[in-house]
Copies of this chain bind each other. A is one copy, B any other.
C-alpha cells in the first residue's frame, strides 16, 4: 500500500537515504479504517503508534456521566497513540476512532528499536516528538485554565483551520470542553459582531 507521506515525513526529519527508509518501512503494516471504525477502545492495551497516511482520527475518553471528551485530532501526517497505555503497559482509558476513511501505518515497539539501531539520530527525533507533545498539552492546559469558551474557540480556529471544516461542530465543542449548544451560541455571537468564517 502507498505510504508516501510516511516516507517523506521520515526523509524530512531524519538524515537517511531513500533506499534505507523503504527497506525499514517494509516492517510496518498499513491498515485501512473506514469512518467510524475503532483503532483502540477503552481497556484495551495500546500496542502501536499510529501514523496517519490519509484521513482523520480522533482520540477521546468517556467520563462517568457518559460524555465524550476529545483529547486530540490526528489528520494526515500526524502521530497518535496512547502513550500511557503503550509505554506503561496499562489498559487504555481512551478510544481512537476514524472520523474519515483513513490509511494508517502501524508502528510497534520492535520497529522503534530497529530504527533506533539503524539510524543514529532517531533518538533525537523521538525526543523532539515527545517535547512537542508536552508543549502542546501544556498550552492546552493553560487555555483551559484561563480562557473563556469564545477565546478557546478562536484559538482553535487559528490552530486547526482545516480540522474545523472536516468535523461536525459537536466534536469541536467536545474538544473545547463545552456543549454543542454553547458553541453554536458562541458562533452566533461572533457572527453578529461581524466576524467572518
Contacts and interface: CB of A to CB of B under 8 A. Distances in A.
Interface of A: 61, 63, 65, 67, 69, 71, 83-84, 87-88, 93, 123, 126-127, 130-131, 133-135, 137-138, 140-142, 144-147, 177
| Chain A binding surface, main DSSP class | helix
Contact of A138 (B84, B126, B177): B84
A147 B145 CA distance: 13
A151 to B, nearest CB: 9
Contact of A127 (B67, B130, B135): B130
Contact of A130 (B63, B84, B130, B145): B130
A42 to B, nearest CB: 12
A146 B63 CA distance: 7
A61 B147 CA distance: 13
B135 A137 contact: no
Nearest to A146: B63
A131 B177 contact: no
A147 B65 CA distance: 10
Top 3 nearest A-B pairs (CB, nearest first) are A137-B137, A63-B146, A69-B145
Contact of A141 (B65, B84, B131, B144): B144
A127 B127 CA distance: 8
A71 B141 contact: yes
A88 B135 contact: yes
18 contacts: A61-B142, A63-B142, A65-B146, A69-B145, A83-B131, A83-B135, A84-B134, A84-B135, A93-B142, A126-B127, A127-B130, A130-B130, A130-B131, A130-B134, A133-B134, A137-B141, A144-B145, A145-B177
A48 to B, nearest CB: 16
B177 A144 contact: yes
